[in-house]
Amino acid sequence: MTDASLPKVELYTDGACSGNPGPGGWAFILRHPATGKEIEKFGAELETTNNRMELIGAIEGLASLKSRSVVHLYSDSQYVLNGLKTWIKDWKARGWKTAAKKPVKNIDLWQKLDELAAAHEVHFHWIRGHNEHPENERADRLAVAAREALVREGGSR
């Protein structure tokens, strides 16, 4: 049940990687529909994976919120959405181990994302990637541009 007194926001996230591992970028678009205010942020890492970039996009987006909110999180990453909706409960119950009793990959990012998501009421929405969804396409362009800028600068960003 949604708390009617909480602000409602839309968060669109994406990550992009060239090679896996390789240089990667992340981005988010955060929109407050009631006011029309929107912010975009993006960044890049020289040696990373696509999954890490997808996670960082969601982390940075949630971290940008100033108060508890109802967040509609839109992502083309089943990894991020399934992880937050389903897998994370089991991982935590098993001491951050998979069903195969192996350590969860990207545990540092999953723990941060879990902490940030717990501070909000998060609703999950999967978007098919590269399917002409305007905000998903924009987040993808921002992530790719951040990655390309980092590579052009020789990783000095």
- In terms of phi and psi (left: phi > 0; alpha: psi -120 to 50; beta: otherwise), the region of 74 is beta
Sheet with 8-17, side-by-side order of all strands: 37-48, 22-32, 8-17, 70-75, 121-126
Summarize the confidence of residues 60-76 as an average pLDDT: 97
| pLDDT bucket at 155, cuts 50 / 70 / 90 | low
Residue 157's pLDDT band, with cuts at 50, 70 and 90, is very low
pLDDT in tens, 12-33: 999 999 988 999 999 999 999 9
Residue 86 lies in a domain: no
Catalytic residue among 10, 45, 60, 76: 76
d(CA 142, CA 25) in angstroms, rounded, equals 8
In a domain, 57, yes or no: yes
- Residue 114 designated active-site: no
What is the total count of domains within the chain?
Answer: 1
Give catalytic status of residue 15 as yes or no: yes
* Active-site residue identified among 10, 60, 135, 140: 140
Indicate whether 127 belongs to any domain: yes
Q: What is the CATH number of the domain that holds 134?
A: 3.30.420.10
Q: Which domain holds residue 39?
A: 8-81+116-152
Model pTM score: 0.93
Our answer to whether residue 90 is catalytic in this structure is no
101 lies in some domain: no
pLDDT tens digits, one per residue of 92-148? 999 999 999 999 999 999 999 999 999 999 999 999 876 778 899 999 999 999 999
Q: Could you give the count of Cα atoms lying within 13 Å of 102 in the half-sphere of its Cβ?
A: 4
Active-site choice (10, 25, 43, 54): 54
User: What tokens does 117 get?
Assistant: 């998501």
pLDDT at 70 over 80: yes
Within a domain: residue 92? no
Specify whether 54 is catalytic: yes
Question: Among residues 10, 15, 24, 135, which one is catalytic?
Answer: 15
Q: Does 139 reside within a domain?
A: yes
Question: How high is the pLDDT of residue 128?
Answer: 82
